[in-house]
Structure 1
Amino acid sequence: MPLLRHVAFALLLGALLVPAQASRACTSFRLKTTDGDVFYARTMEYAQDLGSKVAIIPKGTSFVGTLPDGTSKGLPFTAKYGFVGMNALGINNLSDGMNEKGLVVGGLLFPGYAGYEPYSPDTAGNTIAQFEMVNWLLSQCATVADVRRDIGKVRVCQGPTTLNGVTAGSLPLHFTVHDATGDSIVLEYMDGKVRIHDNPIGVLTNSPDFTWMLTFLSNTVNLSAVNVPALDLAGYVVRQTGQGSGMLGLPGDFTPPSRFVRMVALTQSALPVTGPDAGLALAMTIIGNVDIPKGAVREKDAAETMFDVTQWVAVADVARSRYYYHTDTDRNWHYVDVKQALAAAGSAIQTVPINVAPAYPDATATATPYK
């Protein structure tokens, strides 16, 4: 194997630590406008087609937690709040979403580090599977403070590895949580215990753990949005080749630590904006910097080559209660108005297909004479 391919493979293997069928390179961040509007953005990468749809889950919907043996005999709970977000594999256990109170939750892959609470039949009545965590948080909590207060009420255990007849693997997850004030935390289950991390920078990717990622930022303290000055070498002046020299060394690969640094650099250096339209545009612009085109990330085994691809991207506009999304085949942004959708749904879960043919408007007829 050529050296470049060998190094690239080693980096991907070390970052993902899971088979290609379960690989996912999710990225998320939260930002605020000058007037306090909160926006959240995330990507969903996966080699297997998830068949995601936007699920609209009304207040009053009943759930029962799934036990490790796959039976629905865990914690029964009823949604205090309605919520909207992305499902997968034909199951309305969301991987991402926002509720009617503006709480936003995302589940991101956490391979090699996730270790959920040990299961005991004595606590079955308080148990849910890790892939039900987004539903539980969105349905039960209105704020990050609620999450901190109530997280001890539920026992999160490793769920079954087959969902709706599809082998999904162990799905090791950690969770990013934001509320309408911009308060942010990360929930990580490690060594059988939950760890709650304040997240003032609002960014989360995958493995290693969040504390490690914060430490890793120390390697990039030289990065700056300000161009570096020319360097005088005893009469020979070395000048920048162009704009952006302050960000020389900003990692551009798709490993989780590199995506973490890239999102921190871009969210922190972007000029503050005012108003919901400007906030939305900024969130959409920044999240586009981690899109993975099909073929850029590959995993080979004896049977086939798997390709990670950004299947969908979501942006939550908390102030206007809108959940925006686009897919890898339709780059136009669509949105669901969360409160209107919940009101229209009544008591029935509804879904919105996202894999639709792209419609790019023809602007030819809008041409006018040059003046």
Structure 2
Amino acid sequence: MCTSIAYSDRGLYGRNLDLDTPFGEQVVITPRDFPFTFHHLPPMPHHPALTGMATVAHNTPLYAEAANEHGLYMAGLYFPGNAHYFDAPDPAACNVAPFELIPLVLGRCKTLAQARELLATVRLVAEPFAPGFPLAPLHWHIADATGALVAEPMADGLHLYEDPAGVLTNNPPFPWHQTNLHNYRGLSTAAPANSLAPALELPLCGQGFGALGLPGDASPVSRYLRAVFTKAHAVFGPDRDCGIVQFFHVLDAVAMVRGTVTTDQGGCDETRYSSCIDAQTGTYYYKTYDSGSLHAVTMDEAARQGSDLRVYPLQARPLFHQDAPVA
């Protein structure tokens, strides 16, 4: 389970990754000359540099989410029971294994418009990365400064949807989430008027009653609604650093606390990490569940050059700043 958020107007993109077990995740910068290979497509020896969260297997970055140096963002989110991959390639299509999709799109495209054009030709083929790497049922969130897009692989092909809210969670399919928003159009940050019985004196006993009815559970439907509401109303000031912190506060509104969501296998789903990619600086910010502190990895010009992956293990332990007394 996951939540992805795109503030296209601010050039900030990121997600919560909710899972009950680690998957070897690390921050990985893929430089321009790292050679990407594909099952059914020619290799890609040169491409824009990428930064994001990935597990590295056989010297290959398997990205959960990433952005390229042109500010195009893409994240894969869990989509079980609906995601469909085809058993065989189609000679008339652009045949891609699911784990190849992020490198393909971010490697070929500079803009959301280009990504939309490429994705319209894609056929996702059921080919795992390697033995022992099961196919993850996914759909994808893609965004840049112009807006956001959702790509969902269904039995009749890859569906592309415009995403005006800039939010994606998990099931059901994206059009259902859009329709469900209509049921909550009356939510507000302001105190509600007494329309129940105007003649009665019904004082409020606190703040926040304008959003009464906004669901607070961790289901994909509830997280989608809560993320849309929080994203739409979160106030950002002019300070860029404070804006990064505010982005994480928005993600915190839909984060999973360890122990509050248990899996069928008895594990605990939790927000293993939260991330924010600043497209203006090429900086990947993250915090892990147990660290809590914000960490930053910047994809500077030196990191964008060459052919060797740059891998940054996550800071997973608490870091406490010890204040000194005032003299």
Q: TM-score, normalised on structure 1?
A: 0.80
Q: Deviation at 1:117?
A: 4.3
RMSD: 2.4
Q: Deviation at 1:300?
A: 3.3
2:287 partner amino acid: H
Partner of residue 172, structure 2: 208
1:96–1:262: structure 2 CA closer, same or farther, 3 Å change rule?
Answer: same
Structure 2 alignment gaps of length 5 or more: none
Partner of residue 26, structure 1: 2
Q: Distance in 1 between matches of 2:123 and 2:197?
A: 63
Work out which of the residue numbers 27, 42, 51 in structure 2 matches 1:84: 51
Q: Deviation at 1:235?
A: 6.5
Query: Is 1:354 aligned with 2:321?
Result: no
Q: Distance in 1 between matches of 2:310 and 2:227?
A: 33
Q: Deviation at 1:279?
A: 2.6
- Once the two structures are superposed, residues 209-262 of structure 1 have per-residue CA deviations (whole angstroms, 9 ceiling, x without a partner) of 111110010111121111113568587522222110000011111111110100
1:346 partner amino acid: G
Partner of residue 276, structure 1: 240
Q: Deviation at 1:146?
A: 1.1
Q: Distance in 2 between matches of 1:158 and 1:331?
A: 37
Give the secondary-structure state (helix, strand or coil) at the position aligned to 1:176: strand
Identity %: 29
Counterparts of 1:1-371 in structure 2, within 5 Å, are 25-32=1-8, 36-66=9-39, 75-88=42-55, 90=57, 92-120=61-89, 122=91, 126-152=94-120, 154-160=122-128, 166=132, 168=134, 170-179=135-144, 181-230=145-194, 233=197, 236-301=200-265, 305-340=266-301, 342-343=303-304, 346-363=306-323, 365-368=324-327
1:106 partner amino acid: A
- Once the two structures are superposed, residues 41-76 of structure 1 have per-residue CA deviations (whole angstroms, 9 ceiling, x without a partner) of 20111122212001111112222224xxxxxx6553
- Once the two structures are superposed, residues 74-95 of structure 1 have per-residue CA deviations (whole angstroms, 9 ceiling, x without a partner) of 5533341110111137451101
Q: Distance in 2 between matches of 1:273 and 1:131?
A: 37
Give the secondary-structure state (helix, strand or coil) at the position aligned to 1:37: coil
Q: Deviation at 1:272?
A: 4.8
Q: TM-score, normalised on structure 2?
A: 0.91
1:30 partner amino acid: A
Q: Deviation at 1:192?
A: 3.7
8 A Cα contact 1:94 1:132, kept in partner? no
Q: Distance in 2 between matches of 1:78 and 1:110?
A: 31
Give the secondary-structure state (helix, strand or coil) at the position aligned to 1:77: coil
Partner of residue 17, structure 1: none
Q: Deviation at 1:158?
A: 1.9
How many residue pairs get aligned? The number is: 325
1:174 partner amino acid: H
1:327 partner amino acid: T
Q: Distance in 1 between matches of 2:212 and 2:175?
A: 25
8 A Cα contact 2:29 2:50, kept in partner? yes
Structure 1 alignment gaps of length 5 or more: 1-24, 67-72
Q: Deviation at 1:346?
A: 2.2
Q: Deviation at 1:332?
A: 0.8
1:256–1:75: structure 2 CA closer, same or farther, 3 Å change rule?
Answer: farther
Q: Distance in 2 between matches of 1:279 and 1:198?
A: 25
Partner of residue 13, structure 1: none
Structure 1 stretches of 4+ moved >6 Å: none
8 A Cα contact 2:52 2:66, kept in partner? yes
- Once the two structures are superposed, residues 134-169 of structure 1 have per-residue CA deviations (whole angstroms, 9 ceiling, x without a partner) of 121111111101112222454321223xx565454x
Give the secondary-structure state (helix, strand or coil) at the position aligned to 2:267: strand
